[in-house]
Amino acid sequence: MRGYYDEISFEVNTTAKKMHLFLLRSIASYDVTPEQWSILEGIEANEPISQKEIALWTKKDTPTVNRIVDVLLRKELIVRKVSTEDRRISLLSLTEKGRKETNALRDIVEESCEKMFEGIAKADVEQFTAILKSISTNIE
């Protein structure tokens, strides 16, 4: 039985790496990584948002989010402002440049995802997602 689970784990891991690389290559011309894209997307969907909330939204650890945010700040894709309600909290928002890149990237990411899931029925993708969520819940 062990080989059965090893094969599943291997296939999921290998496929995840291939998907990441495919997306990385698809958005390479924008000098943005898939990790940076997920942060940009999270900020756009919830702005203004704290780094702690971004970490929860993207399911990334805080040090990783901090490093990505620092890069996005240097690239002038986001800005950080102190919260008017709680001066201990910094809130992130997209700059105009960040908004333009996020909109352009969304189209590329959407096309990439369509290519990755080409020929797979929507119901199968939904079932696969549900299975992955169940596995994730089992190991939390």
Overall domain count for the chain: 1
Q: Distance between CA atoms of 88 and 52, rounded to whole angstroms?
A: 12
Q: What is the pLDDT along the chain (140 residues), one digit of tens a residue?
A: 567 778 888 889 999 999 999 999 999 888 899 899 999 999 999 889 988 899 888 888 889 999 999 999 999 999 999 878 888 888 999 999 999 999 999 999 999 999 999 999 999 999 999 999 999 899 88
Strands ordered across the beta sheet of 78-82: 49-50, 90-94, 78-82
* Residues of the domain holding 16: 1-138
Reported as half-sphere exposure (CB side, CA atoms, 13 A), residue 59 has a value of 2
pTM above 0.85, yes or no: no
Q: Distance between CA atoms of 60 and 129, rounded to whole angstroms?
A: 19
CATH number (domain holding residue 69) = 1.10.10.10
Query: So what's the pLDDT on residue 129?
Result: 93
